[in-house]
Amino acid sequence: MIFFISDWGYKSYYVGVAKSVIYSISSESKVIDITHDIEPFDVEEASHVIERVFDDLPRRSVLLCVVDPTVGTDRRPIIANIDEKYCVVPDNGVLTRLIELKSVKSAHLIENPKYMYKYPPSSTFHGRDIFAPAAAYLDKGTTPDEFGRSVKDLKAIKIEGVFVDAGKVESAVAYIDGFGNIETTIRLKDLQKAGISGNYMLVNGKRAILANNYSEGKHELILAHADSSNYIEISSSAGRASEILKLKKRDKIVLQNLD
């Protein structure tokens, strides 16, 4: 089973062509689209999405992610084995959040022409010529060592961490979903460590209720609650929280005691 993430959208033909390549190699494969709406070239956003979906993927599945602003350069195409799942990605930092939390069992270059759709590959469409076929062959049973040499030290990018102080937790907006909900990398334990308690807090200076679900805070403008990945999410019963708080990705977010 192949789970597919990209920043290609659906306006162009790229997703369809990549799937066609997969099925031409492995007609029995199942390809599940997670999203193709990653902000174009936004490696950090892709890293957050990968980390949030990864534990829900079955073992021995293939995660194919093509968010590749430096396609055609010397950045490495790789297969990383993490938790008995294969990640087929450009080595440009898309796995940063995942490898902060999990161990990489092994990683291999994708360099064997036998497992490429076209050789030499296009300088602008490695998704078709390198990544999609690699995912297909892995799903058919090819082992990672057949693709190329073992590599270490996968590339990581700088992503803002979580800073805990007395009565205050600071981080950055990780992702804004289609409803305008603000996703963070803050956990409930961070609030507890900071001593933030009670039913209410301040989120960037605005009062918010600490709720268990969306309905529980339906009479409040701003809600803070644990999302399905157990991170603190900021939402609103009155519209898009991102617009109410005037926040976008990577902006600073501060949660603190109300008093």
- CATH number for the domain harbouring residue 125: 3.40.50.10790
Q: Is residue 204 part of a domain?
A: yes
Of 146, 180, 213, which residue sits at a domain end? 146
Domain co-membership, 24 together with 141: yes
Domain boundary among 146, 176, 194: 146
Residues lower than pLDDT 50 in the chain: none
pLDDT at res. 180: 95
167-197 burial: b if 16+ Cβ within 10 Å, else e: bbbbbbbbbbeeebbbbbbbbeebbeebebe
Residue 172 in domain: yes
In a shared domain, residues 58 and 175? no
Cα-based distances in Å from 217 to 128, 207, 208, 214, 254: 46, 12, 9, 6, 20
The answer to whether position 109 is within a domain reads yes
Q: Identify the pLDDT of residue 217.
A: 67
106/180 same-domain check: no
Task: Indicate if 138 and 61 belong to the same structural domain.
Answer: yes
Co-location of 39 and 100 in the same domain: yes
Q: Is the pTM of this model over 0.75?
A: yes
Burial pattern 51-73, b for ≥16 Cβ within 10 A else e, equals bbebeebeeebbbbbbbbeebee
Residue 128, in any domain of the structure:
yes
120 is a domain residue = yes
Instruction: Please count the structural domains in the chain.
Output: 2
Co-location of 8 and 130 in the same domain: yes
Same domain, 140 and 172: no
Full residue range of the structural domain in which residue 86 is found: 2-146
Q: Examine the domain organization and report whether 53 and 175 are in the same domain.
A: no
Whether 38 is covered by a domain: the verdict is: yes
153 falls within a domain? no
CB 217 within 8 A of CB 209: yes
Q: Would you state the pLDDT for residue 167?
A: 92
DSSP 138-154: HHHT--GGGTS-B--S-
Domain end point (choices 120, 146, 172): 146
In a shared domain, residues 21 and 122: yes
CATH number at residue 245: 2.40.30.90
Q: How high is the pLDDT of residue 25?
A: 98
Domain-embedded: residue 151: no
Q: From the DSSP assignment, how many helices (H) and strands (E) are in the chain? A: 7, 15
Residues 6+ apart with CB under 8 A from 35: 5, 49
Same domain (yes/no): 96, 220: no
Provide the pLDDT for residue 207. 93
